[in-house]
Amino acid sequence: DIVLKTIGVNGMTCMGCEVTLEGAVSKIEGVVKVKASAKNNQAAVEFDKTKTDEESIRKSIIESGYEVN
């Protein structure tokens, strides 16, 4: 089952941040699409909920140096 979750992210200030976050989250098994927006302080993530979960995605964002809310 593919689900779309939009996660609030603070700390992205330039396009490089979006690329960093997208690179990290896209490496998670089960993530099929990720689009980060520094401007809107969010990341939209489509993932297969049988393979990963929102908690794993949030953890990856935090490990990349950003804050989730």
Least distance between ligand 9UX and beta carbon 61 (Å): 11
The secondary structure of 24-51 as a DSSP string is: HHHTSTTEEEEEEETTTTEEEEEEETTT
State the Cα–Cα distance between residues 31 and 3, nearest whole angstrom: 10
C-alpha–C-alpha distance, residues 6 and 34, integer Å: 10
Q: Which is nearer to ligand 9UX, 24 or 57 (CB)?
A: 24
- Least distance CB 14 / ligand 9UX (angstroms): 3
Smallest gap from Cβ 10 to ligand 9UX, in A, equals 12
Binding site for ligand 9UX (CB under 6 A): 13-14, 16-17, 20, 65
